[in-house]
Structure 1
Amino acid sequence: MSSHLQELKKKHENLSTAVEDLQRSPSADGLHVATLKKQKLRLKEEITRLSEQPH
């Protein structure tokens, strides 16, 4: 697996953790959570695209 793909997966995991932490907070900013979720989705799409490419 390429180091770029590994880095994307790590960023995706970090965003997942950040979103979960924010959602547990009663004072969570909904817009910030939505922005992080969009970033997470873009990373997931990029990971999927790179994973499906022939090596």
Structure 2
Amino acid sequence: MDTEALRVELAQLRQEHRDLDVAVEALAATPNHDALQLQRLKKKKLMIKDRIMVLEDQLRPDIIA
């Protein structure tokens, strides 16, 4: 995968992560919220965060110490 494609995917994932953050906060703020739905959103958010970290590592050049 080329660098530009990685950057595009990274930007999309960051946006999706922010959107999920807003959704989690909104759901948590509602009375009698669906705990299972909240747990699923948090899990998806965590999976996206992990993928973001992988992509960032791929984009970061290796530094030989």
- Asked whether the two chains share a fold, i.e. TM above 0.5, the reply is yes
What is the aligned-residue RMSD (CA, Å)?
1.4
Q: AA paired with 2:8? A: S
TM-score normalized by the length of structure 1? 0.92
- Matched residue, 1:14: 19
Q: Which has the larger radius of gyration?
A: 2
What percent of counterpart residues are identical? 36
Paired residues, number: 55
* Structure 2 gaps, min length 5: 61-65
- Return structure 1 stretches of 4+ with deviation > 6 angstroms: none
* Structure 1 gaps, min length 5: none
TM-score normalized by the length of structure 2? 0.79
